Amino acid sequence: MDFQELVRARRSVRKFNDEKLREEDLEKILAAGRLAPSGKNLRPVELIVVEDKDTVAKLAKAKSAGAAFMAGAACAVVVIADSERSDTWIEDAAVAVTAMQFAAADLNVGSCWVQCRGRYLGEGDEAVSAEDNVRALLRFPERFSLLAMVALGYTDAMPRPRGLDETDAGKVHFECYGGGKARAALDPERKRV
């Protein structure tokens, strides 16, 4: 599919079937993450692939909310970055996540990212960071910080592609915030002002 179709087709998938992820699909998704651009080309991002179902289920419990669906994924890719190597590690890891999700969509593999940075399991004084939980499970070094996990798997119910009519063209500004002229190409219903 062409890139514009791919952008519309990429949707979050939280229900997966039991099919194991094909090795060639996983390799292409990981290649997209490895090829993603990074600030000053420092490449601080590293990927931990987890295919063991028990470990994926444990990752799904690393934070209080928003990750339980991962237990049904064929695998999870844990996206970490060397925060000592680059001050743009958060952005770099986010770009890698996005690249992998577009690659997954291109291969008809369902995906959904799970935000971990700044998230916790539990509340108050008893809360433990998702990063600490995942680090204890996967044993990555202290200099690495966790941004997110990407759940991957095949689905029997791929969401329909998103249409441009489902977006708000008013969130695009030209020349300055709230200024400039609307462009008909962004919103076919809006007349040029």
CA angle 121, 30, 65 (to 5 degrees): 15
Report the C-alpha dihedral over residues 50, 99, 80, 15, rounded to 10 degrees.
Answer: -40
The Cα 171–Cα 49 span in angstroms is 36
**CATH superfamily of the 3-159 domain:** NADH Oxidase (3.40.109.10)
Query: What is the location of CATH 3.40.109.10 in the chain?
Result: 3-159
Indicate the pairing of strand 45-50 with strand 120-121.
unpaired
193 has pLDDT over 80: no
pLDDT digits (tens, 9 = 90+) for 62-117: 999 999 999 999 999 999 999 999 999 999 999 999 999 999 999 999 999 999 99
pLDDT digits (tens, 9 = 90+) for 117-168: 999 999 999 999 999 999 999 999 999 999 999 999 999 988 899 888 888 8
Q: What mean pLDDT comes out for the span 22-51?
A: 98
